[in-house]
Structure 1
């Protein structure tokens, strides 16, 4: 498992000095799991922060009507897990599962917390990554509340065209908050 992928990812966002990087890289351990593995369930507190090396995962919610709502997909290279539960150490309101066989590096909250207390640059890096995640969440909130189905679809294709090849379309429809039939029509439409 490659810590090099993690290093490349971190350096592009918030370069760490050698001492901080050595401490940060030492807390990660390899972890693998099969397709459709439930890593976190509603009510559990997220124990791990994952860095995706291979595979596809999703966080999702199930409403009272048993309707699933996909919140986010993760794939290499990215951090993964139920971020709010991990950062606040409170019970998750979401499920987190693998959609394919997945390989990760992972660390615990305790290890991350100790490192952030010891190294202000690591805390700064975590803050920067959290800020970018919040920025993405707010942009997505606007899309969900204000965009038509077609605008949501076009925005997804502009931002991440490769997802059509790696993510099952029923999950993409759920992520966009549109009916699977509407998603299929948009996909086959010549206007898009």
Structure 2
């Protein structure tokens, strides 16, 4: 499997020598998942931090009534993990499921610790990735109570270009916290503008 997208992504944060790249490549696990397969399920321990080489995943919480609440989509060049479960090695709060056939570059907790030790600049890299994720999560919370549903949808479309063709509308509605009927109404309004 080609992990060039991961190396290119990392290069935006840190510069690795050829030896460091070789060591990193020797430690990463590459895996293909089929559409519908789970990477982690609620209650299990999240064993990997995953970089999406190709495909699309959804991260969601299933409430006690069986209602699905989508908190994130991960597409190419995004990370996918239940970060709290991964860092603390405790049961996951979220499910991560593939919405398409998906290829991942995966790092186990122990491997990341080894990478920090062997290539210290990777600790900075993973810290920055985690910080960016935290900031995005906090901004999403603010958007959820400060923007209208229409404004949230426009932001979503800009954040995930062309994803409308990749995932069902009811999932986008779940992510936005609205009904699929309301999402249809918003899309109709935008088409007229």
TM-based fold match above 0.5: yes
In 2, Cα distance between equivalents of 1:66 and 1:9: 37
Residue 113 of structure 1, CA deviation? 1.1
- 1:131 matched to 2:101? The reply is no
In 2, Cα distance between equivalents of 1:4 and 1:118: 21
* 14-23 or 131-140, larger mean C-alpha shift: 14-23
Residue 191 of structure 1, CA deviation? 5.1
Report the equivalent of 2:69.
Answer: 69
Gap runs ≥5 in structure 2: none
1:28-76: CA deviation from partner (whole Å, max 9, x where unpaired): 1221121101221111111112221221111100123322110111111
Report the equivalent of 1:147.
Answer: 147
Report if the CA contact (8 A) 2:3-2:53 is conserved.
Answer: no
* TM-score (norm. length: structure 1): 0.92
In 1, Cα distance between equivalents of 2:158 and 2:79: 22
SS of equivalent to 2:30: strand
In 2, Cα distance between equivalents of 1:15 and 1:168: 39
- 1:97 matched to 2:97? The reply is yes
1:138-157: CA deviation from partner (whole Å, max 9, x where unpaired): 11111112222111112112
SS of equivalent to 1:70: strand
In 2, Cα distance between equivalents of 1:111 and 1:175: 32
**How many residue pairs end up in the alignment?**
192
1:80-135: CA deviation from partner (whole Å, max 9, x where unpaired): 22222112211101111111111122221111112113332011111011111111
* TM-score (norm. length: structure 2): 0.92
Report the equivalent of 1:57.
Answer: 57
In 1, Cα distance between equivalents of 2:160 and 2:32: 25
Map of 1:143-182 to 2, 5 A cutoff?
143-182=143-182
Report the equivalent of 1:3.
Answer: 3
